[in-house]
Every structure is written in C-alpha cells, then in structure tokens.
Amino acid sequence: MEMDTIVFGNYSVQDVLIAAGVIIALLILISAVRKLFKKEKVSEHIQVIRCKNCGWRGQVSRYAGRCPKCNEPLGDQLAKH
Ligand SMILES: [Zn+2]
C-alpha cells in the first residue's frame, strides 16, 4: 500500500494521517484544558465560610453544607432549602 493511495475520495493516506494527527493533538489539548477546569471545579465544591451560629470558620463542602462544630446548616446548601 502506497502512501498516495486514494482512500476517501480525494484524500490520500497521508492526508488521513495528518488529519488523525491533528485530531489527536486537539484531543490532548482538550483534555489538558479540561484538567485545568477540573482544578477550578474542585475549589468550587469547597467554600470558606464562617458559621453564623458558633463563629467557626473554615472550608466546608457546598454539598455537605453543615458546620462541623455545631452542625448548623451553612452555605449554598442552606440557600437551596
Ligand atoms: Zn457552627
């Protein structure tokens, strides 16, 4: 099989390989960008908050939404209900 063999219409094997290379490069780029966004998302799940009930201050999961000291509802979890 020669490199200039016609595979898809006017596209040669070489063109397909170049296209595949570009797609792979894009996929690598996308996964790298996603990793960056993931890092930001992790911090989105955690919030630094001060408990209005007992004055405790620290990082709380937005989804746990409770003060570890007095179990008072905190943050976004509280806003949802
Ligand atoms: Zn508290």
Query: How far, in Å, is the centroid of ligand 1 from the Cα of 55?
Result: 6
10-residue mean pLDDT profile of the chain (81 residues): values are 62 89 97 80 75 90 84 71 49
Residue 30 to residue 13: CA distance in whole angstroms? 25
pLDDT of amino acid 21: 97
Say what the pLDDT of residue 70 is.
93
* Cα–ligand 1 centroid distance for 73 (angstroms): 8
Question: Does residue 64 sit in helix, strand or coil?
Answer: coil
Residues of 39-76 as b/e, b for ≥16 C-beta within 10 angstroms?
Answer: eeeeeeeeeebebeeeebeeebebeebbbeeeeebbbe
User: Ligand 1 centroid to 63 CA: how many Å?
Assistant: 16
**What pLDDT, on a 0 to 100 scale, did the predictor assign at position 1?**
53
